[in-house]
Amino acid sequence: MIKEKYTNRVKEISVNIVQTDIDSVRKKDILKTGLRVYDKGYIGVAGAMGKADEEDLERRAIDNLSLKIPYPCEPSENLKMHLDYREDIFSDEEFVREADEVLKVLRDEFSDFTFSNKMYLFEMETGLTNDLGLDLLHRDRLLTVEFVIKEKASANVFDAFAIYATRQYNREELLNIIREELTAYRNPVKLPEEGKLPVVFMDFDMVPVSKLIDELNGYKLGTGASLFKDFIGEKKFNENFTFYQSAEKEDLRFIEFFDAEGVVNEGFKYALIENGRIMSPYTDKKTAHKFNLPLTGSAVGEYDKVPSLSPRYFKVKSSDKTLKELLNGKMAVAVVIASGGDFTAEGVFGTPVQLAFLTDGERLIGRLPELKLSGELYSMFGEDFIGKSKDKAFLGQQALALYLNVNYL
pLDDT tens track for 307-328: 999 999 999 999 999 999 999 9
pLDDT at position 89 is 86
Helices 92-109, 171-185: axis angle to 10 degrees equals 30
Q: Are the C-beta atoms of 160 and 337 separated by less than 8 Å?
A: yes
Question: Is 219's pLDDT higher than 90?
Answer: yes
The confidence band for 92, taking pLDDT boundaries of 50, 70 and 90, is confident
- As a whole number of angstroms, the distance between CA 329 and CA 46 comes to 58
The helix (run of H) or strand (run of E) holding residue 210 is helix 210-215
Average confidence (pLDDT) over 366-386: 98
pLDDT at position 202 is 95
What is the layout of strands, in order, in the sheet containing 277-278?
A: 277-278, 269-274, 243-246, 314-316
Q: Which residues of 97-112 are buried (b: 16+ CB within 10 A; e: fewer)?
A: ebbeebbeebeeebee
The confidence band for 254, taking pLDDT boundaries of 50, 70 and 90, is confident
Question: Is 73's pLDDT higher than 90?
Answer: yes
What's the one-letter identity of residue 382?
A: G
Question: Is 137's pLDDT higher than 90?
Answer: yes
Question: Is 204's pLDDT higher than 90?
Answer: no
- As a whole number of angstroms, the distance between CA 97 and CA 144 comes to 15
The helix (run of H) or strand (run of E) holding residue 175 is helix 171-185
161: nearest Cα among 335, 400, 34? 335
Q: Cα 268 to chain center, whole Å? A: 15
CB atoms within 10 A of CB 28: 11
Question: Is 402's pLDDT higher than 90?
Answer: yes
Question: Is 161's pLDDT higher than 90?
Answer: yes
Q: Are the C-beta atoms of 210 and 344 separated by less than 8 Å?
A: no
pLDDT at position 401 is 98
Average confidence (pLDDT) over 95-123: 97
- Considering the entire predicted model, what is its pTM? 0.95
Map out the domains of the chain with their CATH numbers.
2-185 (3.30.2290.10), 195-207+319-408 (no CATH), 213-316 (no CATH)
pLDDT at position 182 is 97
Question: Is 299's pLDDT higher than 90?
Answer: yes
Distances (CA, A) of 351 to 71, 189, 212, 336, 340: 40, 21, 16, 13, 6
Q: Are the C-beta atoms of 238 and 381 separated by less than 8 Å?
A: yes
Q: Are the C-beta atoms of 169 and 143 separated by less than 8 Å?
A: yes
- As a whole number of angstroms, the distance between CA 34 and CA 49 comes to 9
Q: Give per-residue pLDDT as tens, 4-17.
A: 999 999 999 999 99
For the chain, the average pLDDT equals 96
CB atoms within 10 A of CB 32: 18
Relative to beta strand 195-202, strand 243-246 is: unpaired
Angle, vertex CA 169, rays to CA 163 and CA 170, nearest 5: 90
